[in-house]
Amino acid sequence: MIKDKDLSSIQDVRDLVEKAKEAQQLLKMKSQEEIDSIVKAMYEVAYMKSDQWAKMAVEETGFGVYEHKIIKNKFASKAVYEFIKDMKTVGIIKEDKQKKIIEIGTPVGVIAGLVPSTNPTSTAIYKALIAVKSGNAIIFSPHPKALNCISDVARIMEAKAVEAGAPKGIIGCMAIPTLEGTDALMKHKDVSLILATGGSAMVKAAYSSGTPALGVGPGNVPAFIERSADIALSVKRIMDSKTFDNGTICASEQAVVTENCIKEDVKTAFIKAGAYFLEGEEADLVGKTIQDACGRFNAKIAGKSAIEIAEMAGLYVPGDTRVLIAEQTHVGIQYPFSREKLAPILAFYAEDNWEKACEKCMELLAYYGLGHSLVIHSKDEEVIKAFALKKPVSRLLVNTSSAQGAIGATTNLAPSLTLGCGAVGGSSTSDNVSPLNLINIRSVAYGTKELEDIQQEYEDGLSGHASSHMELDVETITKMVLKELQNYK
């Protein structure tokens, strides 16, 4: 018997990968219809268990709001299922008879699914569904603070999948989550892809493992309220987003940027909606609660309410306070409010015009959120287009709540809990990750030309090109001769 925790974790991973590989070899032989039947059964049990898993997640992690976690679980099951249920992922997925090209979807194999403590059960539900839908096996590396609830999701969804015809071992979960075990999982020769959701250090580790990875960088989402916007509605949407599950979705707003001409109206609207503006020493105390002197994030505030965070900072705020806001002018490590906070806390900036506001948003993104998302509240399509052309983000959300809009709940983006940040954000994709990101596509291309056809085409092209030059040369020579004749006269 292995006594060392790290060695036990590594052995656990090896056993899980062995089972998952065997299961995936059997799953990939199944038809699209058989896989769809399995995925439907998984969705149904996940939807039914949404309340129970939400309660488990809150009790185990201490993060977020029970009622909101129910919504997230139901979104991760039903919305994701409705989006993927008719998707072709295995076998022939596309055929172009005119061009004589057939595309065949093939699963990547065994996937390592890294799951955070902030959105544990919803992320596990979503990843299990998209992995099996694409013909893959998945092994979860759960955050240690959310081990029990993530393990329960894996156990029950796999049992239902097996009942519906899936091979046993298709969904696994590490029983002893350690850094050493997770490292062994990511680097295992039989793991084909890492699906990483969590902190930036973990995502970087995934990308440096040597195994192909789809990761999500930090979100430091600015929300710009432009002068033409419906101020009350814009503020309502931001508050709905920022208070949802106490700000644990990485796509939730982290800063509000507006114009000086409407600044006071925007502040008034926030106060009416339950925001508390921190002044002077209050802002300093909350800033020190957000991060330490070296700029390290205080994980104790993640998923806590505004009132709980105020108490941690030694402040008293009104009992109906929903969000803490501090007016800011600068961005950077010495300004805690300008970073991602995973809690109902916002920075507030005001600029002279939309061009200056655009620059401030760029500054915020460059500091801590390149490639993720940005929100604009505006009725001016020209300003919206200007933002869309300039911003280094993968999602520009217009007139919607960021947390819900980015994941596809209030927009028509793909429903997803893994949001790619593109190359600019250190990610290999800018997509809302779906089953189509978890397959390889084999192209079957029929010949439509012979070598002689290509040769003739090129010869015809060169002949035409030469003729045009010849015509041009003749025309030029004629002009030169006429000019010389005129000079001679």
Q: Which residues are catalytic?
A: 250
Helix (H/G/I), strand (E/B), else coil: 86: coil
Question: What tokens does 423 get?
Answer: 């190359």
Q: Report how far apart, in Å, the C-alpha atoms of 457 and of each of 4, 24, 75 are.
A: 70, 47, 54
Question: What tokens does 448 get?
Answer: 């439509």
What DSSP assignment string belongs to 124-138?
HHHHHHHHHHTT-EE
What DSSP assignment string belongs to 260-297?
GGGHHHHHHHHHHTTEEEE-THHHHHHHHHHB-TT--B
488: Cβ–Cβ under 8 A, 6 or more apart, which residues?
Answer: none
Sign of the dihedral through C-alpha 243, 46, 218, 441: negative
Nearest-angstrom CA–CA distance, 170 and 176:
19
7: Cβ–Cβ under 8 A, 6 or more apart, which residues?
Answer: 180
Contact 36, 125 (CB under 8 A): no
Full 3-state SS string of 295-338: CCECHHHCCCCHHHHHHHCCCCCCCCCCEEEEECCCCCCCCHHH
Running DSSP on this structure, what letter comes out for residue 220? -
Least Cα distance to 309 among 332, 278, 335, 333 occurs for: 278
